[in-house]
Chain A
Amino acid sequence: MKIITVILLSFLTQCFWAQTNPKDTAKKITQLSEVCISDDTHPDNASFNFYKGSKLANTEDILSRMEGVSLIKRGAYGLEPILRNYGSGQTNITIDGMRIYGACTDKMDPVSIYVEPVNLQSIQVAHGAAGALNGSTIGGQINFNLKEPSYNCNKKIHGQVGQSYSTINKGSNTNFALQQTLHKFSYRVSGALRDAGNYKSGDNIQIKNSGFHKSNLSAALSYKIDSLQTLKINYLGDWGKFIGYPALPMDVGSASAQIYSMSHHTIFKNKKLESNELKVYYNHIVHQMDDTQRPEAPMHMDMPGWSTTFGFYDNLSIKKGIKLRVDYHHVNTRADMIMYPSGEPLMYLQTLPENNLSNIGFSLQKLFTLKHKQQINLNGRIDLFNQSAISSAGINQWKVFNTDISTSKQDFLKNLNLNYSKLFTGHLFLQLTFGYGERIATSNERYGYYLYNRQDQFDYIGNISLKPERSYQTELRIKKEFKKVEVSMNLFYHLTKDYIYSYKLDGYGQMTIGAFGLKTYKNIDYALSTGAEFTTKFNVTERLTHISSIKYVYAETHNGKPLPLVPPFKLQQALRFKIQLTQIQLEHDYAYAQNRINIDYGDRQTPSFHLFNLRIAQNIRIKSSILQLGIACENIFDQNYREHLDIGNIPRFGRNFLMNASLLF
């Protein structure tokens, strides 16, 4: 156990990243197994650490239980995280601060799929403009930090092997990790193999085209140049095959991600400077959608997509609470559609005309510590974007709309976030945030060409004259700690001017067989979104803990139309009983019906549901190793249910038994 603690502590030292909250984080140790997780804006996000503590939770499970995080589901795999009601164009999802762009025009490849729990060190979530430190945003950011090799005095190889199995989809997950320190070098290699067949929903209905196969490999090498400088090289590879998307008309034949980075960390023994981190990165995503597994498809179709991104960032910490950041990235994206009618020449178009986007940004953060445990945190960011379509094929096809997309578009974005916090006596913490954020239209929103949206069954074309969305935000966070109970509440109100919203183009036909027509985007006057998150943690006894969270978002356009894909009121609670090395956890999820829907977008009403899960974990000490065994029953009452953000009315897993065995050595 001692060794484990040592590893724990060594991981923990890497978790202090841009902490904005003055709370002490050291108490987290009690909740952690070998993984240290921190939610950056609220490092004491109790629910996050609580669920991560369960060995039977995967990355998506944890995400779904974090404050203000929901998931859009299109298949059993590749759930797209959204923050409150902000989707992928409005949020930044990064891995180790690296910008990675999906290669799929249908958003089947959210960046989160490349991170396996075995690679994951922490997830930082920041809402609204507060997430703009790493890139302009109005919705916030999710940053996945990969585990890095740590330096410990013990030269022994550490690691883990694990295997889990779930009955509902005959799914298996094999994973391993190895870590070793060799003098100045240390390395960490980890990987995972996941395999699943079609799953069954409640009422024993098989969901066709819902299986998937994937493998993931992560390797990190760290070299200590001297006591103050470290050089790190990271590789992350992910390969997916035959990933079913029952909610969409196509599946993914193959998908691969190659993510490389090199970084240099310096700690200064200087009076003014604190530390510097310089990172260069490159990633290449290839995504191949096809309908070869769909016998009902009217015509065989391939939809490959590519994205290549390179960039760098430099984070400089100066004493007196100043952080400076400069970053640059360049991305090239393109998506094709190739159809093979029988006995006719093949058909081709670029659903996303090849285009280049480059961005340079500067951000400055300054923390003022005032008397009486007060803090003001000011951070601002400016960004310059340049985007242009470069392929003549894509440019030519756009001419049918009398639009020339070859001229480059420049955008200058501003973000500003002001955060005041005070720790009152009696463990009452209060934080008030005013934010202003901007985001540019995504390349789909700008150049997309007959992109089919399954939700409303319309084809979409872009609009190059879209203005950036501008969001004015205010948030209040209150946290109170009692002897046995922790209560925290977030209230937020966001007003987004020039909100990018879809509308129907009358007199234009669709391209996709069976689609209803053509839509594009325009800036509407404004949209507002308001809501709350409420979390409690109650240590009933030393052995019994109850945790609960409530999320609610209300969002509508300037003329009172509900925004699409807004999650309904949701309550998630869990009761954990822990005695020595045994842990029993009962979970209850409740979602209210969502009747505030956007019919234009094909939003459908969702009935309410209750969901119960039971998880039992047992740790067994074998000399210096630990064997972790887990068994779980999810959806105990075999509910046939779906979440509001599940595309295409596809129900979720029915009753599922999960088994897990992991050996930590």
Chain B
Amino acid sequence: MKLSYKIIALSAATVLTFSCKKKETKIETPTPIETPVETTTMNKLGEVYIQGANAKAFIYTTSTLQTGYNEIYVALFDSTDGSSLSTGHFDILPIMDMGTMQHSSPVENTEDTVVTNGYFKTAVIFSMAGTASQWFLNLNFHNHKNQKFGAAKFGVNVAASSPSKFKSTVVAADNNASIFITLLNPLKPEVGINDFEIVLHKKNSMMEFLPIDDYTVEIEPTMPSMGHGSPNNVNPVITEKGHYKGKVNFTMSGLWQIKIKLSKNGTALSDTQYFEITI
């Protein structure tokens, strides 16, 4: 009986704290909330104070973080009055801390300084899996409201995507460049015609990865156990910032491999990397 009293007391306390927090969530809720990605719901990853910028950051993703392309949405609020901060310059720098060394990963920061739908949108391409002690997001914010600048460090868990949506390869014909190939689409592969999108990055230094805009990309989908391909695929072409868009076709359900062939100015660079897709 004693125990159950304790439980009741505990749960009451939890409810109280929860309801207290609920008050806070009132201010954390950016107005208006529009789901930026239509078919996915936003998952809250966490929150952190950005010291110096008088800002509190609420970090959201569309799914759990994994190796490959991850969209990250950050809503910023004034840490004193709770009002939404819609002007400023926000960026993320991902850092993998391996103790003896550190390196970053490709990232796509927004250049917008005015937030229209409540979020600063960025995307991080995690190049490897890691737990919170290893991967950090360095959040930098220049608050245009008070012209203050601040930074914060936020640890995240990154799981390995399965099947992998991220490939890295060293391209001998392009000065031994280390190339990252990240699969964005199809997100929900189906039999028939599918949008296909990859992003290409080149490692410039441990901390800098540049989008590749001058490669030629060809794709070749095959069913490995049958050895056949599919017709009428559209090879991806550069749109912006290393993004290449095309069409991939699947004639039937099952396991598919999409081979990525890279070339530059007519010189073949790489044709060994492939993504696996199961329908």
Contact = CB atoms under 8 A, between A and B. Distances in A.
Contact of A397 (B225, B251, B255): B251
A341 B227 CA distance: 12
Given A344-B225, A393-B191, A339 B231 contact: no
Contact of B228 (A344, A402, A511): A511
Interface stretch (A16-24, A74-82, A346-354, A584-592): A346-354
A396 interface: yes
Given A341-B225, A509-B228, A397 B254 contact: no
A103 B253 CA distance: 22
Nearest to A402: B232
A534 interface: no
B231 A401 contact: yes
Interface in B177-195: 190-193
Contact of A400 (B224, B225, B230): B230
Contact of B190 (A349, A396, A449): A396
- Among A337, A400, A509: residue with most chain B CB under 10 A: A400
Interface string B184-225: 000000111100000000000000000000000000000111
A348 B251 contact: no
Q: Is the interface of B mostly helix, strand, loop or mixed?
A: loop
A482 interface: no
A449 B249 CA distance: 14
Contacts of B231: 400-401, 508-509, 518
A399 B254 CA distance: 17
Contact of B229 (A398, A449, A509): A509
A569 B190 CA distance: 52
B232 A344 contact: no
B253 A348 contact: yes
B223 A347 contact: yes
Interface in A369-418: 393, 396-402
A581 interface: no
The CB with the most chain A CB atoms within 10 A, among B226, B227, B249, is that of: B226
Contacts of A513: 226-228
B250 interface: yes
B252 interface: yes
A503 to B, nearest CB: 16
B225 A510 contact: no
Interface string B247-278: 00111111100000000000000000000001
Interface in A490-537: 508-513, 518
B223 to A, nearest CB: 7
A427 to B, nearest CB: 63
Interface residues of B, number: 22
B19 to A, nearest CB: 46
Given A349-B191, A509-B229, A400 B254 contact: no
A347 B253 contact: yes
Interface string A465-508: 00000000000000000000000000000000000000000001
Contact of B252 (A299, A347, A399): A347
B226 A511 contact: yes
B221 to A, nearest CB: 10
A509 B230 CA distance: 7
A351 to B, nearest CB: 10
Contacts of B251: 349, 397, 400, 449-450, 511
A345 interface: yes
Contacts of B253: 345-349
Contact of B193 (A339, A345, A399): A399
Contacts of B190: 396
A365 B232 CA distance: 50
A266 to B, nearest CB: 52
B232 A396 contact: no
A299 B254 CA distance: 14
Interface in B54-78: none
B192 to A, nearest CB: 4
Contacts of A399: 192-193, 249
A299 B228 contact: no
Nearest to B250: A400
A401 B226 contact: no
Contacts of A337: 252
A299 B230 contact: no
Nearest to B231: A508
Contacts of B278: 345
A400 B228 contact: no
Interface in A325-364: 337, 339, 341, 344-349
Contacts of B232: 400-402
B252 to A, nearest CB: 3
Contacts of B229: 509
Nearest to B233: A400
A347 B227 CA distance: 13
B226 A400 contact: no
Nearest to B276: A344
A444 B249 CA distance: 22
A298 to B, nearest CB: 8
Chain A CB count within 10 A is highest, among B190, B231, B252, for: B252
A602 to B, nearest CB: 20
B254 A348 contact: yes
Contacts of B254: 339, 341, 344-348
A347 B191 contact: no
A540 B227 CA distance: 65
A341 B225 CA distance: 7
Interface string B116-154: 000000000000000000000000000000000000000
B192 A510 contact: no
A657 B190 CA distance: 56
Given A396-B192, A400-B232, A510-B228, A348 B255 contact: no
Given A341-B254, A397-B251, A509-B230, 5 more contacts: A344-B254, A396-B190, A397-B192, A400-B232, A513-B228
Interface of A: 299, 337, 339, 341, 344-349, 393, 396-402, 449-450, 508-513, 518
19 contacts: A299-B225, A341-B255, A344-B255, A345-B253, A345-B278, A347-B252, A347-B255, A348-B252, A393-B191, A397-B192, A400-B193, A400-B231, A400-B232, A401-B232, A402-B193, A449-B251, A511-B226, A513-B226, A513-B227
User: What 8 pairs across the A-B complex have the smallest Cβ distances?
Assistant: A347-B254, A349-B252, A396-B192, A400-B249, A341-B225, A399-B192, A399-B193, A348-B253
